[in-house]
Amino acid sequence: MFVADRTPSLKTVLLATGVVLTLAMGVRHGFGFWMQPISQANGWTRETYSLAQAMQNLMWGAFGPFAGMAADRFGTMRVVLVGAISYAAGLFWMALVTDPTMFVLGTGLFVGFGLACTAFGAVSGIIGRVAPPEKRSWAFGISGAASSFGQFMMMPVEQQLISAVGWQNAFYILGGLLVLLMVPMAFHLREPAVEHAHGPQQSIREAAGEALGNRSFLLLLAGYFVCGFQVVFIGVHLPAYLRDKGIANPNVAVLALALIGLFNIFGSYYAGKLGGRLPKRYLLSTIYFSRAVVISLFLLAPLMPLSVYLFAAAMGVLWLSTVPLTNGIIAGVFGVKHMSMLAGIVFFSHQMGSFLGVWLGGYLYAAQGNYDVVWGIAIALGVMAGLVNLPINERPLARLKAA
C-alpha cells in the first residue's frame, strides 16, 4: 500500500485532477471530428472508425477497475503518469496506422488504457479520500465540471487544428500537449498517508464481491450503461447526423458540442451540490427521464441550427451530471477505501453502453443509411434508466455504521 510524504489539500487535488480531466475528456469528446477525414483518407466506411471508437470505449471500461485498484493501492500519481503516456501514444497511433484492423486494436488499447488511468474512475478515489464527507458530493461535482470545461474549450481547438495543420498533425500536437500538461499535474496527486483501522481489513476481492452482491450497486450499473450509450452515440455521431440532414456548415456541430461542454459545467456542479442535500437516486432518475424527453423533442422539432443549439444546451445540463451523483452514492454506501476500483467497475458498465452506442450507430447507418433506430433506442433506454434508479438504497452498509 502506498504511503505519501504529505497529504495534499482538497484545493490542490481539485486543481490537479481538474487539469487532467479537462485534457482527458476534452480530447476524447472531439474524436467525432476525425471520422470523415480519416475515413476518406484511408478509404474506409464510417463503420471502421466507429468500431475503433467503440473498442476504445470498451477497453477504457475494461481497464477501469484495474486502474482503480492500482490508484487505491499505489497512488493516483503513478496511474496518471502511465495513463498520460499511453494516451499520447494512442493519438500518435491514430495518426500513423492505415491498416483498419491495427487501427481498431491500437486505438482501443492505447487510448482506452490512457483514459482509464486519467479519467473519472482513476481520480475519484483521491477526491473521495481527501474531501470531507459533507463536501464529497460537491467535490465530485467540481471534477465533473472540469471535464465539461475541457469539452467546451477543446471542441473549437480540435476543429481549428484539423483545419489549420491537417488531421494527422492535430493528433501529434494533442499528444504532446497531454504529456506536457498531465505529467506535472500528476505530481500534485500524491496520496494521503494510509491510516490503518483496527480490526479486519477488507481486501480488494471482498470489496468487489460485496458491491456486486448489492442490489443498489447493480442498479447503478444498469443506469450507467444507458448513460454511456447515449452520450457517446451523440458525441461521435452528431456531426455526421447533422451533415446528413443538410446542415453542412461544420461550425454548427462544433458549437453544438462546445455548448454541451459549457452547459455541463453547470449541470455537473449543481448536480454535485444538490446531491449533498437531496436523495441522489431521485436526481439520477430525473436526469435520465429528462434525457429521453429532450431527445424526443429534438427529433420532432424542425431541424435548424437554433434547434441544434437548444438540444445541445439541454443535453449539456444532463450530460455528465450523473457522475458526481453516482460516485457520491458509491462513496456513501461502500466507503472510500476502494473507491477508485468500485467507480471503475461501475464505469465499465458505462463503457459497455458506450461501445454499443457508438458501434451500433455506425453499423445501422451502414445498413440503413440513417440513425433513426439508434435514436429510438436511446429514448427507450433513458426511460428504463430513470425507472431502475428509483429503488436504489443510499444508506451506508452496516459495517460502515459500526465503524
Q: Average of pLDDT values for 219-244?
A: 90
> Look-up: residue for cell 491514430?
94
pLDDT for 352 equals 87
CATH number of the domain that 222 lies in? 1.20.1250.20
Q: Establish if 401 belongs to a structural domain.
A: no
Q: Average of pLDDT values for 103-121?
A: 90
pLDDT band for position 10 (50/70/90)? confident
CA distance 262 to 314: 11
pLDDT digits (tens, 9 = 90+) for 277-292: 889 999 999 999 999 9
User: 257: Cβ–Cβ under 8 A, 6 or more apart, which residues?
Assistant: 29, 30, 32, 151, 155, 235, 238, 239, 312
DSSP state of 109: I
Phi, psi of 72 (to 5 degrees): -65, -35
CA distance 25 to 74: 23
**Domain tally, the chain:** 1
pTM for this predicted structure: 0.76
What nine digits make up the cell of 131?
A: 474531501
Q: Is the pLDDT of residue 4 over 50?
A: no
Q: Which amino acid is at 55?
A: M
CA distance 65 to 383: 27
Q: Is 383 exposed, middle or buried (0-12, 13-18, 19+ CB in 10 A)?
A: middle
In 75-203, which residue ranges form alpha helices assigned H by DSSP? 76-96, 100-106, 112-118, 120-130, 136-165, 167-186
pLDDT digits (tens, 9 = 90+) for 69-104: 888 888 889 999 999 999 999 999 999 999 999 999
CA distance 44 to 34: 12
What nine digits make up the cell of 13?
A: 487535488
Give 3-state DSSP helix, strand, coil % of the chain, rounded to 5: 80, 0, 20
Q: Establish if 2 belongs to a structural domain.
A: no
Q: Establish if 355 belongs to a structural domain.
A: yes
Q: Establish if 319 belongs to a structural domain.
A: yes
3-state secondary structure of 199: coil
Range of the domain at 234: 10-192+206-396
Q: Establish if 237 belongs to a structural domain.
A: yes
Where is 239: in which H helix or E strand?
A: helix 215-244
CA distance 54 to 61: 11
pLDDT band for position 58 (50/70/90)? confident
Q: Establish if 402 belongs to a structural domain.
A: no
Q: Establish if 282 belongs to a structural domain.
A: yes
CB 321 within 8 A of CB 144: yes
3-state secondary structure of 279: coil
pLDDT for 2 equals 44
What nine digits make up the cell of 93?
A: 497511433
pLDDT digits (tens, 9 = 90+) for 142-164: 877 777 777 777 878 888 899 89
Q: Establish if 72 belongs to a structural domain.
A: yes
